[in-house]
Amino acid sequence: MKPLQAVALGLVLLALGPADAAPGTFDPLPDPLGWFLVLVGLHGLGPSLDPRRLPTLRFVGALALVVSVAMVVPAVARWLETDPSLGWSADVPRFAFFALLCHELSQAALRARATAGASSFSIAGLVLLFVIAAPPLAFGADLDGVGTAGEVAAQAVQIALVILCFVFSGRAWAGAPEPELEAPAD
pLDDT in tens, 82-122: 877 788 888 899 999 999 999 999 999 999 999 999 999 99
pLDDT at 29: 61
Domain layout of the chain by residue ranges: 3-174
Which residue would you say has higher pLDDT here, 122 or 184? 122
pLDDT band at 185 (very low <50, low <70, confident <90, very high): low
Q: How far apart are CA 186 and CA 183, in angstroms?
A: 9
Which residue would you say has higher pLDDT here, 20 or 145? 145
**Which is nearest to 7 in space by CA: 179, 132, 167?**
167
Q: How far apart are CA 105 and CA 122, in angstroms?
A: 8
Q: How far apart are the first and last CA of the chain?
A: 32
Q: How far apart are CA 106 and CA 14, in angstroms?
A: 22
Instruction: Give kind and range of the element (H or E) at residue 160.
Output: helix 144-167
Q: At 23, give phi and psi (nearest 5°).
A: -60, 140
8 Å CB contact between 49 and 57: yes
